[in-house]
Amino acid sequence: MKKSRWIVIVLSALLIMIVGTSAVFIIDQKASSPSSNSQNQIKSQVPRYYLIAIDDKGRSGEMIGCGDSLVLVSSEATLTDNLVKASLEKLLSIKTQYYGESGLYNALYQSSVGFVNSSISGDTVTVNLTGNFVLGGECDNPRVESQLEKTAAQAAGVSNASIFVDGKALRDVLSLK
């Protein structure tokens, strides 16, 4: 009797393992089917964003208003299906004026801005943000504009970015500051 009980237990366990493995195989097969949208697959990517080299006169990167330079900074790799979102969220999460020991400036450090969504059409990424900007002077306007637009365009792999904050164009929002 004990021997037949063990046989039933072992056979039941094998059956559960076989059925479970088949279910996993079917799920994995659907997830990796060619009809899946490859743009929305979660994968390890490196968010990159722009910070400012103040008074650098274009030596460290693209020159922007007030004689500053845009400098591309890489973050640690993260699992994401939206590199624009990951890059902007990383930039917006930096709440210190100067980034580490690099001396690079973040004009967004006092602002309370969050990512809503993004879309790509042709060579332009459109980004919707929400929140408020707190700027440290007139030179921060072109710094914020450049940081956000260049970060979004770089992450999307396009040349242009249109940024909106609570439905208003970024340039219009910044002109009120």
Which runs of E-coded beta strand occur in 65-171? 68-74, 78-80, 98-99, 104-105, 112-121, 124-132, 160-165, 168-169
pTM: 0.77
pLDDT in tens, the chain (177 residues): 556 665 656 555 444 444 443 333 333 333 333 333 345 689 999 999 999 999 999 999 999 989 999 999 999 999 999 999 999 999 999 999 999 999 999 999 999 999 999 999 999 999 999 999 999 999 999 999 999 999 999 999 999 999 999 999 999 999 975
What's the DSSP call for residue 91?
H
Among 132, 77, 68, 135, smallest CA distance to 103 is for 68
**C-alpha to C-alpha distances, 143 to 69, 70, 108, 125, 128, nearest whole angstrom:** 9, 8, 9, 19, 18
- 86's enclosing H/E stretch is helix 83-93
| Contact predicate 60/69, CB 8 Å | yes
**C-alpha to C-alpha distances, 87 to 114, 127, 159, nearest whole angstrom:** 12, 12, 16
Spatial separation of the C-alpha atoms in residues 37 and 50, rounded to whole Å: 29
Which residues, in sequence order, are bridge partners of residue 64?
68
